[in-house]
Amino acid sequence: MKTIGASLQTHLASEVATVAICFKITTPSAIILTFTSHTEDVVVSGVRYTSVNGLSPTAIDTTGSLAVDNLDARGFLHTLGLTNADIHAGKYDGSTLEVFLVNYADTSMGVVKLRKGFLGNMRWGRVSFDAEVRGIMERYTKELCELYTPSCRADLGDARCTVDLTPFTFTGTITSLTNNRKFKDSSRTEATGYFLGGKLTWTGGLNSGLAMEVKNWTLGSTEFELMLPMPYTVQVGDTYSVHKGCVKTLAMCRDDFNNIENFRGEPYVPQTVTMAISALK
């Protein structure tokens, strides 16, 4: 049940109501973005909510059961000051979103809280975006248990793996590039495939602080290929650090890292085998 102040409740019951919807986004890095659907800026509790064009929330789906409450918000990137690159970089992943209704003519009446949740999938085009807003109950839909797998379920170097990545980590500088996904460092001498599945973290350039998994490393061409292109332009001279990859097999854990006691897989569990039987004639 939503609690509404008496004065605001009276205003909402009147024939003409001066109301607007406000949005407050708080990113994991504590950046706060505030917007309103009103044609002018609205100040609520000392916080200015910027008027934007093209911001369109869908109807809010709320139930009394454990079903997930959902809301979609659509808008224009340039209007909100968002960029494709920022969304691609994950700057807004895990952000909380608060949506409320207010009387823009007299914000002292208080607010009607409509939704508080987390940003889910974000889809974007050249000028617009769609963002899913998931209610708090969405957290209860997650699987909390692990399944048996022949490969290791730990990530190389994490608390369960315990491998010290220091001797397997190297630094370098980009010497040439094809695009934001493929680039070269002519000083590298590691064997082909050495960085397969590893993580490359940028220490300089526009992508500084961001990381991406390595899809391939070829010694002959001294070229890296990442799983996905970087959101910001990669340039010659950009610096990085990268660590050896792990394909999460028992053999690699034993032979490359001498860490078999921390292997988090079940390689000897019988696997599903599909057999094709041809009819005898």
Lowest-confidence region among 38-47, 62-71, 226-235: 62-71
Q: Percent of the chain beyond pLDDT 90?
A: 47
CA quadruple 47, 51, 55, 61: dihedral sign: positive
- Residue-wise pLDDT for 208-241, tens only, equals 999 999 999 999 999 999 999 998 999 999 999 9
H/E stretch holding 250 reads helix 250-255
* Tokens coding 35: 């917007």
CA atoms within 13 Å, Cβ hemisphere of 252:
18
Q: What is the pLDDT of residue 76?
A: 47
Q: In what order do the strands lie in the sheet with 56-57?
A: 42-44, 47-51, 32-36, 19-26, 96-103, 111-124, 128-135, 70-76, 56-57
Q: Percent of the chain beyond pLDDT 70?
A: 75
Burial class (CB in 10 A: 0-12, 13-18, 19+), 171: exposed
Tell me the domains of the chain and their CATH numbers. Answer: 8-138 (no CATH), 166-262 (2.40.30)
CB atoms within 10 A of CB 195: 25
Q: What is the pLDDT of residue 169?
A: 97
pTM: 0.65
pLDDT at 145 over 70: yes
- Residue-wise pLDDT for 146-189, tens only, equals 788 899 999 999 999 999 999 999 999 999 999 999 999 999 99
- Residue-wise pLDDT for 188-215, tens only, equals 999 999 999 999 999 999 999 999 999 9
